[in-house]
Amino acid sequence: MKIIYLHQYFRTPAMSGGTRSYEMARRLVAAGHEVHIVTSSTDPDEALNDWYEEMVDGIHVHWLPVPYSNTMGFAKRLIAFSTFARKAGRYASKLSGDIVFATSTPLTIAIPGVRASRTLKVPLVFEVRDLWPEIPIALNVLKSPITKYLARRLEKWAYKNSDRVIGLSPGMCEGVVRAGYDASRVHCIPNSADLDLFAVSEKAGQDFRDSRAWLGDRPLVLYAGTFGFVNGVGYFADIARAALQLDPKICFLAVGNGAEYEKVKQRAAENGVLGKNFFMEPPVTKKEMPALLNAATLTTSLVIPNRALWHNSANKFFDSLAAGRPIFVNHGGWQAELLEEAGAGFEVPPDDASASAEKIINFLNDRARVESAGKAALDLARTRFDRSVLAGQLERVLSEAVQAVHA
């Protein structure tokens, strides 16, 4: 198949951020397919102002410079989304292909996806990474009745014009069906574990520890991801404050960037933990993540208290599984249930930093449990979330969509 793969925020391992599209695309290439990624370059200093193409590990990547940052306000984000949707639709429609595969977010990726599908007269498979507009409505980001109405119309229009829909979690798939889509054409392919990438020696983690005078052999609790509003990383600093009184040897490290970075830093300073047991570092590339995770004793995936966010399928969660590191989350839902059932981690309350700190400390002080949870995490990665296995599932969904058209 020749696959036109639309993803506005495509990332390679040399960049920071999630690499699901890259990992899936390179496996599709290895399986004998031709993959064309249509995406944006978000560097605000990008010298070019038009499309350019490059080969990345056998993948044809078509880049359009469209400045974007997590620190942008809602209006500027909408401009970035609409600019890419308009130009990508025109560009992708000029490429020949057997199928169009569009992955959100943003939901506006459906616009160029549908346009290219109609122009080329080929099927469209749409992938849902977050339930939009359910989440922005629940978080009161979309406030006016008109914007809510338009967003819901766009969601239903995207599904209606798709031959298949893929969701990244059971809750996302249920949300697609609730919106009126045929359940028999919905497929759940969650985020995945890159086992080969994270199979590094203990030396990688030790080198990371040795390069930081504050760390040494202290237990390390790690958050590595976006500092966005929905992530609620400030709560991590609150947990560190409670932990400092109970067990000051435990370190908390937050790695990443985003709109809330300075707020989290200020909160940590006000809590009296910054530079004591709470530390912050800039984002790392995917290639650097294995050493970082290898150095960690316990990892976390956080969201603000809102049930709409329980269906998330965060990259950091699956990276931790691949690295064989225990995880704690501060929310319910499928990932919390998975961790508890497998013994790979645990859930802490979303609004009680003291209780959370106590639970974390009790876990870290039980070496046998830490070791057992790490093994359980790696076992989950191997048996449930192996990227190569899930890429095979994606290939089958795409192939079935193409075959159905020609049947």
Q: What confidence category does residue 46 fall into, taking pLDDT thresholds of 50, 70 and 90?
A: low
Q: Which residues of 311-324 are buried (b: 16+ CB within 10 A; e: fewer)?
A: bbbbbbbbbbbbbb
CA distance 140 to 118: 34
Residues contacting 252, CB < 8 A, separation 6+: 221, 223, 236, 237, 239, 240, 243, 273, 277, 278, 279
The number of angstroms, rounded, from the C-alpha of 37 to the middle of its chain's C-alpha atoms is 18
In degrees, to the nearest 5, what angle opens at C-alpha 21 toward C-alphas 19 and 25?
A: 120
| C-alpha dihedral, 153 to 156 to 160 to 164, nearest 10° | 150
Task: Identify the helix (H) or strand (E) that includes residue 306.
Answer: none
CA distance 1 to 4: 10
Round to whole Å and give the CA distance between 400 and 398. 5
| Top CATH class, 195-384 | alpha beta
Predicted local distance difference test score (pLDDT) of residue 44 = 56
* CA 124, chain centre distance (Å): 22
Q: Are 305 and 334 in contact (CB under 8 A)?
A: no
Which residues of the chain does CATH 3.40.50.2000 include?
2-192+386-406, 195-384
**pLDDT at res. 345:** 99
What pLDDT sits at residue 406? 78
Which of these, 233, 308, 313, lies nearest to 266 by C-alpha position? 233
Q: What is the pLDDT of residues 206-251, one digit of tens each?
A: 999 999 999 999 999 999 999 999 999 999 999 999 999 999 999 9
Give the span between the Cα atoms of 124 and 126, in whole angstroms: 6
pLDDT tens digits, one per residue of 150-181: 999 999 999 999 999 999 999 999 999 999 99
pTM of the model as a whole: 0.93
CATH of region 2-192+386-406: 3.40.50.2000
Q: Give the orientation angle of helix 367-384 with respect to helix 334-342, to 10 degrees.
A: 120
Q: pLDDT tens, 93-124?
A: 999 999 999 999 889 999 999 999 999 999 99
CA-only gyration radius of the chain, Å: 21
DSSP state of 181: -
pLDDT tier at 49, thresholds 50, 70, 90: confident
CA distance linking residue 253 with residue 249, whole number of Å:
13
